Amino acid sequence: MLERNKAFAESEKLYREILVSEPDHPEARHRLGVVLLRTEQIDQAIKCLSDAVQQGDPSTGLLGDLGYAQMLAGDLPAAEQTLRTAVEAAPDNERIVNNLGMVVGFQGNTEESLALFRRVNNESEAQSNLAFVLSGLGKLDDAKDRYHQALNRDPKLKQAARGLAEFHRTFEAANKSNSPAPRNSKSSRSPLQ
């Protein structure tokens, strides 16, 4: 309950107390890893989640959480291996399949990425997810095209609309920083001055 209410400090303390009295408690170790992940202590989260996996018979959820943590840490090959194992056990788990789609996409395999997204999403959502991956790869024109495809299919798809809005904000910011600031304006001063 504490974890669901985002009381992460209290949750972390509770899970650590459980592990002091029961060091081989895999669920407490798993949940502690998730709390550490949610509080952006990624390296500690990976250690905790990996230890829980090593205790044997890991749940699909545990593997999914470990794969996600590995992805956030930038260890895409490890994340792919972990998430593929999780997907084998739960081929229709939307969260895990989407995370695997992102991982393979960020490694450049956008065809498999799109196929995975299509497996658990409608076409609009799949295109929007691929657009996110493409933007992460720096393929901004392709990403914009995919966001437009998603919105043409579903004009109310919020994730695609947010993606395009982010492109617009980024473009506007880049244009402002590339244009010369007028003399004597506050914007021409460095923030370090």
Domains of the chain, earliest start first: 11-120 (1.25.40.10), 121-175 (no CATH)
Q: Which residue has the higher pLDDT, 183 or 126?
A: 126
Least Cα distance to 40 among 16, 62, 72 occurs for 72
**Rg of the chain over all Cα atoms, to the nearest angstrom:** 21
pLDDT of residue 2: 64
CB 133 within 8 A of CB 113: yes
Coil, strand or helix at 138: coil
The pLDDT tens digits for 140-168 are 999 999 999 999 999 999 999 999 998 88
Q: What is the rounded distance in angstroms from the CA atom of residue 187 to the CA atom of residue 193? A: 12
- How large a percentage of the chain has pLDDT more than 70? 88
Cα distances from 87 to residues 41, 66, 106, 181, in angstroms, run: 25, 13, 18, 52
Mean confidence (pLDDT) of the chain:
89
Residues 99, 111, 73, 165, CA torsion sign:
negative
